[in-house]
A and B are shown apart, each in its own frame.
Chain A
Amino acid sequence: MIEIRDLTKRYGSFTALDHLNLSLEEGIVFGFVGANGAGKSTTFSILATLLSPTSGDALINGKSVVKEPKEVRKQIGYMPDFFGVYDQLKVDEYLDFYGASYGIQLAERQVLIPQLLELVNLTNKRYDYVDLLSRGMKQRLCLARALIHDPKVLILDEPASGLDPRARVEMRDILRNLKTMGKTILISSHILPELAEMCDEIGVIDNGKLIAHGNVAAIQAQLQGEKRIVMKVTDRINEVRAFLEEDPHISSIDVIDNRLEIAFNYRGTDAEQVALLKKAVLIDLPIYALSEEEKDLEDVFMAITKGADSQ
């Protein structure tokens, strides 16, 4: 469906994209996460045929963005991170203009426009001037515009940026709706939690390289590397500590004396963790509870981007 092969973009000595490879199935919602300047917008601009790659290629439904840009344009609906509107056009004229730009006949446009406005909840704004709409409404109008030629793929660059919470929720509902319509959706964001709940797959980009790709849980595990486990004991905390220090997968042990709790980082697999527990029970250690400290996505994201800054 979407196949990105060795995509590289250089601006002089600066490498914005470094041999990016990515393959996406039809009908999924893909979230592209990365700090500002990591290469998200560059990737999307190349997919939208606005920028040609230095090397490599991307295929959308088998059409190359380098060799057949016009065919690609028919397949995609693109919404840039920053965009303007024509001040003196009304909402329906705005959509009509873009419909005509995709070669859609007048009669068809007249049927499509009310449907699209309904989809993005702007039916009552049909005859208003575009520049009088709020930012959230403009964003939704731009989404309707991106949908006018019924593209199979939607490329949305930071669709929720600058929106208030209500507008964000509205945008998310519309995207969910579009997913049920079978569209393949690519969304970028610099905020990971924003994407986590609506994406099937997530890719994390850093310094032009894809550093992680998979479903949200897998990414979280991959990025976290090790988990923080908290153990509660009834007694003999020093004995427990000595036991834990023997395990090679364990590091950063902290004993919280007055509460009889002990926290540590664990790098092993789930099976190894089972073996560890079994051993503890066999030597009769007084452990009564075990829990994994939840790291939220925000922390994970901070960890990745911190790595990027220090380079």
Chain B
Amino acid sequence: MMERFYNPVFVKELKLRFRSFKSFSGLMFYLAVLCIFIAGFLLLTTEFTGKGFFRPETSFMMFAVLTILQMALVLFITPSLTAGAISSEREKQTLNILLTTTQSSTQIVIGKLLSSVSFLVLMLVAGLPLYSLVFLFGGVSPSQLVSIFLFYLVTVVAIGSIGVMFSTITKRTIVAMIATYGSIIFLGGITAFFFFLTMAFHQMGNAVGTSTSFMTYFWASINPGALMLTLISPEMGNALAELSGVELPVWITYLIAYVLIIVLCLTIAIKKLRANMKSNR
């Protein structure tokens, strides 16, 4: 039974990943950023006296900023872990040998993606104790935390798929990395810009329910930052629904859009892995 689900590439990648110092330094860097932030936040709210009190609203505020910060860190780290998936094998001249084994392209691509995603999950889990400080002070419900983590996972898999796709279709890791960061800038930054642009248009006199208002909703719903905001405070979601006239919760659209990205990118990666062969699967 175990052998049926055994993915050699996944196991090999995990082995290599945990043997490299880079992984540990990356994890340390990540936790250090979170620690510095939380320590700084606590010091600021207690006005460096080490005494004082901590209201649930302040704790909620910390939670919100921490969530966005963690999302930004994840977006920043994922490409560096996935954009080299296939291209680094090509650069190290190990890809040809791998492709002559009887493993299917699907197995290889999924193995590569899963190994990167599992490392990112480890990062997120390692950050949980810091997160749980928030619970100490109240103001946040566990279900909120769970849903936020689920959407971290969706985002990581989607960005990871984009990285693996670029890694397969470009010859060099550096190009794949630039392309993946470019996609993140699009998803995180350009969509936000378009959101504000369409919103400005909207406020200049367009009525609710027009194509402009739909576009406002669309740009917001594929932006990871916007999604996190609506998850943290549902009022934001309501405001957006009011503004755009689209009642569908942002997370549903986000989920559909990102699952589509995952499917599309992985399909391309699997098709292109053995691009020099006509028939492949």
Is A277's beta carbon under 8 Å from chain B?
no
**How extensive is the interface on chain B, given as a class?**
20 to 34
Q: A52-B278, A84-B94, A88-B16 are in contact. Are A106 and B100 (CB under 8 A)?
A: no
List chain B residues, Cβ under 8 A from A88.
15-16, 19-20
Stretch of A96-104, A172-180, A205-213 with 4 or more beta carbons under 8 angstroms from chain B:
A96-104
Q: Which of A70-78, A119-127, A185-193, A260-268 contacts B (4 or more CB under 8 A)?
A: A70-78
Determine whether the beta carbon of A50 is less than 8 Å from that of B94: no
CB atoms of B92 and A89 under 8 A apart: no
Whether B94 pairs with A83 at a CB distance below 8 angstroms is yes
The secondary structure that dominates the A interface is loop
Given contacts A70-B102, A105-B3, contact A97 B97 (CB under 8 A): no
Q: Does A152 contact B (CB under 8 A)?
A: no
Q: Closest A-chain residue to B104, C-beta based?
A: A70
| CB-nearest residue of chain A to B9 | A101
Flag if B279 contacts A50 (CB, 8 Å).
no
Contact assessment for A83 and B93 in the assembled complex, using a CB-CB cutoff below 8 Å:
yes
Cβ-defined contact, A97 with B12, below 8 A: yes
Q: Is residue B101 within 8 Å, beta carbon to beta carbon, of the partner chain?
A: yes
B278 contacts across to A, CB distance below 8 A: 52, 66
User: Does B147 count as interface, using CB distance less than 8 angstroms?
Assistant: no
Are A100 and B277 neighbours in the complex by a CB distance under 8 Å?
no
* Alpha-carbon separation in the docked complex, A66 to B276 (Å): 11
**In-complex Cβ contact of A103 among B102, B276, B277 (8 A):** B102
CB distance from A83 to the nearest CB of B (A): 5
Contact among B8, B97, B102, B274 for A145, CB-based, below 8 A: B97
A-chain residues with CB within 8 Å of residue B9 when the two chains form the complex: 101
The reply to whether B280 and A69 contact each other, CB–CB distance below 8 Å, is yes
User: Do A106 and B16 touch (CB < 8 A)?
Assistant: no
C-alpha gap A73/B99 in the complex (Å): 9
| Contact in complex: A100, B92 (CB < 8 Å) | no
Interface: A93 (CB within 8 A): yes
A102 touches B276 (CB 8 A): no
Q: State in angstroms the CA–CA spacing of A103 and B280 once bound together.
A: 18
Q: Which of B10-45 contact A (CB under 8 A)?
A: 11-12, 15-16, 19-20
Minimum CB–CB distance from A39 to chain B (whole Å) comes to 16
B3 pairs with A83, CB closer than 8 A: no
When distances are taken between beta carbons in the complex, the residues of chain A under 8 Å from B6 are 100
Instruction: Indicate if B103 sits at the interface (CB-CB under 8 A).
Output: yes
Produce 1/0 per residue, A125-159, CB < 8 A to B.
00000000000000000100100010000000000
- B143 at interface, CB cutoff 8 A: no
A contact residues around B99 at 8 Å (CB): 49-50
Q: Tell me whether B98 is interfacial, beta carbon within 8 Å.
A: yes
Inter-chain contact A89/B96, CB cutoff 8 Å: no
Report the bound CA distance from A88 to B93 in whole Å. 15
* Residue A82, interface by CB 8 Å: yes
Q: CA A100 – CA B278 in complex, angstroms? A: 25
Q: In the bound complex, do residue A101 and residue B101 qualify as a contact, i.e. CB atoms below 8 Å apart? A: yes
**Which residues in A have their C-beta under 8 angstroms from that of B104?**
70
Residues of B within 8 A of A49 (CB): 99-100, 277
A–B complex contacts, Cβ < 8 Å, 23 sampled: A49-B277, A50-B276, A51-B276, A52-B276, A52-B277, A52-B278, A52-B279, A66-B279, A70-B104, A76-B100, A80-B96, A83-B97, A84-B94, A86-B94, A88-B19, A89-B15, A97-B11, A97-B12, A101-B98, A101-B102, A102-B101, A102-B103, A106-B3
